[in-house]
Amino acid sequence: MKNIFLQDDILLVESKIRDFEDKTGCELLVVVTDSCDPYPAATWRFAILSTFILSLFFSTFFEFHSAWMWPVAIFSTLFLMSWIGKFPLLKKYSLSEWETRRECREKAIELFYTLGHSKVSHEMTAMILVSRLERNIQLLVDEELRREISQQELDELIIIMREHFKAGNMALGFCSSIEKLEKKILQDFGGKLNTKFSGELPNKIHFIQNN
């Protein structure tokens, strides 16, 4: 999954993470995952719909002389389509917006806790999660940061990232949003939150493969 970044881009983003933490006294997690859920229901939606369409098509042009051949053909097609529907390129067309929004939010909260909150001794952590299949971006901040940073301000940072991502520049999207979050924290909190800060989390991009 690292092939979506050039090595220089990875180093650039990880350098920006270090700068952010040094200047703000906060931890920053950057996570890139292929998807937030296997979405088995989406696979079966694709399989059932495509089997129905193919059955209509073949019933128009072909005729089986034995009645038992129809159910065999339908179940064989359903099995084949359920396998084909596992490919991300096809699966994403069977996803609903509410489904992806829910799963991405749940995955973001899970990773925020397991990779960040549970491993630090403070409540000054922020996390950017990008999920490729859903093309979804989540930005979470810990209790201390929520005192001054509203959800609307976080959504504005997500918009910045999305614009750069659409232009094909993920590194610039990350760096721009991290820089703006840094300025926001320093401005709203009047400087570095924790003057005795020593990073407790690795300053790297977490690439997660969802098997």
199-210 tens-digit pLDDT: 788 889 999 987
Boundary (domain end) residue, out of 50, 76, 94:
94
- Tell me the mean pLDDT in the region 113-121: 83
192 and 156 housed in the same domain: yes
Residue 185 tokens, joined:
């924290």
Q: What is residue 1's predicted lDDT score, i.e. its pLDDT? A: 54
Do 108 and 176 belong together in one domain?
yes
Residues 173 and 109 in one domain: yes
Q: Which of 14-23, 61-70, 97-106 has the lowest mean pLDDT?
A: 61-70
**Does residue 12 have a pLDDT over 90?**
yes
Q: What's 7's domain CATH number? A: 3.10.310.50
pLDDT reported for residue 64: 66
Q: Are residues 15 and 104 in the same domain?
A: yes
79 with 146, same domain: the answer is no
* Structural domain containing residue 149: 2-37+97-208
- Pair (181, 80) in one structural domain: no
Are 88 and 185 part of one and the same domain?
Answer: no
Q: Which of 73, 24, 26, 18 is nearest to 51 (CA)?
A: 73
Angle at CA of residue 71, ends 65 and 77, nearest 5°: 110
Q: Please say if the pLDDT value at position 180 is more than 70.
A: yes
pLDDT over 80 (residue 211): no
Residue 191 has pLDDT above 60, yes or no: yes
Quick check: 169 pLDDT over 80?
Answer: yes
Give the chain's count of helices (H) and strands (E).
8, 4
Place of tokens 């193919």: 54
- At 201 the pLDDT is 86
Helix (H) or strand (E) holding 177: helix 170-188
pTM (2 decimals)?
0.82
pLDDT mean over 75-85: 85
Same domain (yes/no): 116, 199: yes
State which of 94, 120, 138 marks the end of a domain.
94
Distance, in Å, from the CA atom of 131 to the CA atom of 124, rounded to the nearest integer, reads 23
Q: Report the sign of the C-alpha dihedral through residues 114, 117, 118, 120, in that order.
A: positive
Number of domains in the chain: 2
Length of the chain: 211
> What is the model's pLDDT at position 18?
93
Give the residue with greater pLDDT, 89 vs 101.
Answer: 101
**Residue finishing a domain among 58, 78, 94:** 94
